[in-house]
Amino acid sequence: MPFDFNQFLILAEELASKGDEASKRSSISRAYYTAYHLALARAETNVGEWRNRIDKKLSAHVWCWKQYSDTSNVYCQQIGIDGDRMKRRRHLADYQKNDIANLDAEVQRQIEDVRQFQIDLAALDLRYPRP
């Protein structure tokens, strides 16, 4: 049975409630991966598998969000923009050595953004993204 990546959001919410910095940073990351995997699955269904693309210079993450942002549909474009913003937040949480300003607020923002992302992706015309 395939893994339900929505479970990452549940874990992110649990981690967010803990007091330590590592849990909060991990919360940001797990929340992002909920959105990323949902978006990647849909992009690969509509466009083709990332691994089979001719131009493999792009990482899977960049490729995924580019499929959404490089369309003529404004709702699809917004999903790409939102995904890229959540990816940047995840990158800071995973790799920034220094303290993250307003970490608690960043955690909550990421979780809220992913919840809204789930709604927006579900509402997007099933034809998108498309090649």
**What confidence tens digit (pLDDT) does each residue in 38-50 have?**
999 999 999 988 7
Q: Say how many C-beta atoms besides its own lie within 10 A of residue 105's C-beta.
A: 10
Please give the mean pLDDT across all residues of the chain.
93
This prediction's pTM: 0.92
130 within a domain of the structure (yes/no): no
What is the count of structural domains for the chain? Answer: 1
Dmax over Cα atoms in the chain, in whole Å?
A: 45
Q: Note down the domain range covering 96.
A: 12-123
The tens digit of pLDDT for each residue in 81-106 reads: 999 999 999 999 999 999 999 999 99
2 within a domain of the structure (yes/no): no
